[in-house]
A = this chain, B = another copy of it.
Amino acid sequence: MDEFTFIDQIKQSLYKQPALVKGIGDDAAVFRQSAQDIVTAADTLVEDVHFSRALMDALYIGYRALAANISDIAAMGAAPAFYLVSIVIPDSCSDEELNDIYKGMSYAASDHRMDLIGGDTVSGNELSIAITVIGFVNRKQARLRSAAEPGDVLFVTGTLGDAAAGFHILNSNKFYKDSSYYMDRHRMPQIRSAFAKQLEPLTRVALNDISDGLANEANEIAEASHVSLTIYENQLPVRDSFEQFSEEEQHKWKLYGGEDFELLGAVPESEWEQLKSIAARNSTPLTAIGYANNRENKDHHVWLVDDSHTPKRLMKKGYTHRSR
Contact = CB atoms under 8 A, between A and B. Distances in A.
Contact of A3 (B1, B44, B323): B323
A208 B27 contact: yes
Contacts of A43: 86, 120
Given A28-B78, A142-B30, A122 B40 contact: no
A324 B28 contact: no
Contacts of A262: none
Contacts of A209: 27
A251 interface: no
A244 B324 CA distance: 47
A312 to B, nearest CB: 22
B86 A119 contact: no
A146 B21 CA distance: 14
Nearest to A119: B42
Nearest to A42: B84
A41 B323 CA distance: 25
Given A42-B84, A46-B124, A27 B130 contact: no
A89 interface: yes
Contacts of A310: none
A123 B49 contact: yes
Interface in A116-143: 117-126, 128, 130, 132-135, 137, 139, 142
A30 B76 contact: yes
